[in-house]
Structure formats: C-alpha cells, structure tokens
Copies of this chain bind each other. A is one copy, B any other.
Amino acid sequence: MKTKSGLPPFEHEIRVAWGDCDPARIAYTGRIPNWALDAINAWWEHHLGGDGWFQMELDRGYGTPFVHMSLDFRHVITPRHRLICKVAPTRLGSKSIEFRVEGYQDGNLCFEGRFVCVFIVSQDFTSRAAPPEIREMVEPLIVEWPEK
C-alpha cells in the first residue's frame, strides 16, 4: 500500500497465541476479522491523539459502525510469528469511510480485507457527515486500492 504522502501505512502488531488456534494448529477463522477490527481501532488511536472508538463515541459524540466487511484469507496464521496488520483508509465519502487491512506474517500476506464504516451521532445512532477534524486527518492518508 502506498499513501499519497509516500509514508508507509500504519502497522499494528498482533501476538497470535495458543488460544487463538484451533485443532488444525492455525489461527481460527473467527479470530481474523477481530484482529482486523483491532488494527483499525489502533489506527484511529494513532491518528486521533490516543482516541479509539471508545473515546470517539463517549467523548467526541460520534461513531463509525461497520456496514460491510470482506476478507480474503491467503495464508495460514500461526503463533510462530507476530501478525503485522497494515491499515489505511482507501476512500472517504461524505458519510462513510473505507479501510484496507493487510495482515502479514514473516513477510507473507495472510489476509486482506475491505471494511466500510458510516459516521453516526453517538446519542441517537443517526447518520451524519464525516466530522471536519476527521476529514482533515484522513484525506492525506488515503491509499489507492491495489490493482489485482
């Protein structure tokens, strides 16, 4: 992934552990979307001065619930390496934001996913435009979706 600024995308590290694995001795499929969500939350924390979804909802008064996720699983994930999740926004609509998350172990792409969130008012869950503070922060970070 390449950002407009040329900077590498944000990376979030996951410690894959024994309890994440199933009897096939690889990470259970159901854990993977959760790691992608953890990585997106960590991306917000990194770019909003420590504020993740919790502070966004409770302190800033808006939220970003998910309306879509799709993931392709490319390679098994095990506890033998840390899982490095690269996260970047790929689109900022008037009322929505889309993320790309790529998970790597030992240099191999293990999963890639697309996640779409909408902006809402925390208090009543109604749709709203992306807050200006978010728009300003997100726009320079947008990456292009890779060509297949």
Contact = CB atoms under 8 A, between A and B. Distances in A.
Nearest to A74: B67
B25 A18 contact: no
How big is the A interface, by class?
Answer: 35 or more
B23 A29 contact: no
Q: How many subunits of this chain does the assembly comprise?
A: 4
Contacts of A76: 65, 125
Contact of A18 (B17, B57, B71): B57
A79 B67 contact: no
A68 B71 contact: yes
A23 B54 contact: yes
A127 interface: no
Interface stretch (A3-11, A31-39, A86-94, A101-109): A31-39
